[in-house]
């Protein structure tokens, strides 16, 4: 096992890295001027609470930026080492984590997905919102039907959401992840609410999945336009289809 992997599995190392990441993110949040769309974004959230907040995976570092002190929500985070660091960083923002994985209901036995789904349903029943990345695992910018299944089972609405900054690190990862830099401009944008009835047919759930995917694409374009940039992951789905 490499030194890096050993460090990644160390609880003390994860705690230190999580603290450092949280400290950095707090600096980024404090030193960027954020535009918010729509103007009543938080009023919409309050009216619908508890909600399922959906983001593309590439913005997962930015999950804590939209949290207000009074908000109670949990975030679904994978069980691997990097996920442990992210979970610790979220804790410093007052955000609890659910360790598991999303994806297709056909794969719910894998990667703690069953436990994750049960915990998210329990969380929503208790009046606490959840934040989930919408992508099929390792397939960026394709909305998975696991999140749609969560909305159907819980009866709670999905709010597509993104947060971006004008100054950022863009990574060449599978999801084209971004991490904001301090002293710039930011944008928080929420899309149209996606609802899935408890008795929705397969056709209706697929329409909801496609609507979620389309709304996430749209608000990413809008958020990057607000900060004068371009979405580094905008062409991922087209590139994959062409290949």
How crowded is residue 161: how many other Cβ atoms within 10 Å of its Cβ?
A: 26
Domain boundaries, the chain: 34-242
Q: Which residues lie closer than 8 Å to 235 by C-beta, 6 or more apart?
A: none
Record the pTM.
0.90
Query: Is 7 a residue whose pLDDT tops 60?
Result: no
Query: Is 1 a residue whose pLDDT tops 80?
Result: no
pLDDT of residue 110: 54
CA–CA gap between residue 59 and residue 85 (Å, rounded): 15
Instruction: Convert the pLDDT of each residue in 182-196 to its tens digit.
Output: 999 999 999 999 999
Instruction: Convert the pLDDT of each residue in 84-100 to its tens digit.
Output: 899 999 999 999 999 87
Element spanning 85, H or E: helix 81-91
Element spanning 3, H or E: helix 3-9
Q: What are the C-alpha distances in Å from 67 to residues 63, 130, 198? A: 8, 12, 28
Calculate helix-pair angle for 113-125, 145-154, nearest 10 degrees.
40
Average pLDDT over residues 106-116: 64
């Amino acid at each position: 096992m490499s030194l890096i992997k050993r460090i990644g599995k160390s609880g003390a190392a994860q705690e230190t890295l999580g603290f450092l990441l949280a400290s950095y993110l707090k600096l980024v949040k404090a030193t960027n001027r954020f535009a918010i769309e729509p103007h009543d974004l938080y009023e919409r959230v309050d009216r619908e609470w508890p909600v399922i907040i959906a983001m593309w995976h590439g913005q997962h570092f930015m999950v804590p930026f939209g949290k207000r002190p009074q908000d109670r929500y949990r975030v679904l985070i994978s069980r691997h080492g990097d996920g442990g660091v992210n979970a610790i960083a979220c804790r410093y923002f007052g955000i609890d984590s659910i360790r598991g994985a999303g994806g297709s209901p056909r794969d719910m036995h894998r990667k703690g997905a069953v436990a994750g789904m049960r915990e998210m349903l329990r969380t929503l029943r208790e009046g606490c919102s959840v934040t989930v990345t919408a992508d099929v695992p390792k397939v960026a910018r394709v909305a998975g039907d696991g999140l749609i299944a969560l909305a159907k089972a819980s009866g709670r609405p999905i709010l597509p959401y993104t947060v971006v900054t004008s100054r950022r690190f863009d990574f060449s990862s599978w999801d084209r992840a971004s991490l904001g830099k301090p002293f710039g401009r930011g944008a928080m944008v929420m899309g149209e609410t996606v609802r899935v009835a408890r008795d929705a047919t397969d056709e209706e759930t697929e329409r909801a999945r496609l609507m979620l995917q389309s709304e996430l694409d749209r608000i990413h374009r809008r958020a990057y336009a607000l900060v004068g940039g371009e979405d580094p992951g905008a062409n991922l789905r087209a590139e994959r289809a062409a290949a």
